[in-house]
Amino acid sequence: MSRVKKIALSGVLTALALALSYFERFIPLGLIIPLPGVKLGLANIVTVAALYFFGPLPALAVAALRCALGSFFGGGVSSLLFSASGALLSWAAMSAVSRAKTFSVYGICLFGAAFHNIGQTAAAVLVLGPAVIYYLPYLLAVSLFTGTVTGLISSGVLSRVKRL
């Protein structure tokens, strides 16, 4: 794949990630699971796709751009802190385990979801104080569910697209 095509497709993926994280606001997961900051993590699917097609560094660029633009369009600085810490830790974990042949896209998404919550909790500890750390085990339990869902979607989408 040419460099230009890679950059262009990364831009498309970034736009897709932005759209998904906006769309996600309308899924009221917080009503079923009354925990602060509970999300399905649909935008993570795009990070997984970038990881699958392009590798770790373009995936990082897509995730970072999504957070930056997301906060520019409607979040502000503290939302940037939350989304960036979650997205970056999730990216790091997924990149690390994507090299191990042990895991398929499901395992990668599970790690991604778990570390997304760890990153967000770390940001929440900084902003709100140490009390929020007690939410982490509950958020991790939820991440088993959300990670499986994003794994399912990623598996379905990627095996249909296969190559760009």
Interface contacts to another protein, rule CB under 8 A: 30, 34-37, 51-53, 55-56, 97-99, 101-108, 110-111, 114, 124, 126-129, 131-132, 134-137, 140-141, 143-144, 147, 151, 154-155, 158-159
Tell which residue, 69, 85, 79, has the closest CA to residue 16: 69
Element (H, E) at 162: none
* Nearest-approach distance from CB 56 to another protein, in angstroms: 7
Identify the three-state secondary structure at position 113.
helix
Structure tokens at 75: 């979040």
CB nearer another protein, residue 41 or residue 151? 151
> Minimum Å distance from CB 18 to another protein?
22
Query: Smallest distance from the beta carbon of 65 to another protein, in angstroms?
Result: 20
Closest CA to 48 of 63, 70, 67: 63
Smallest distance, another protein to C-beta of residue 159, A: 5
Taking the least distance from each CB to another protein, the nearer of 19 and 140 is 140
Measuring CA to CA, how many Å separate 63 from each of 18, 33, 68, 130, 151? 10, 26, 9, 27, 17
Closest CB to another protein among residues 21, 154: 154
Find all residues with CB under 8 Å of 93, minimum gap 6, and list them: 111, 112, 114, 115
Q: Which is nearer to another protein, 18 or 51 (CB)?
A: 51
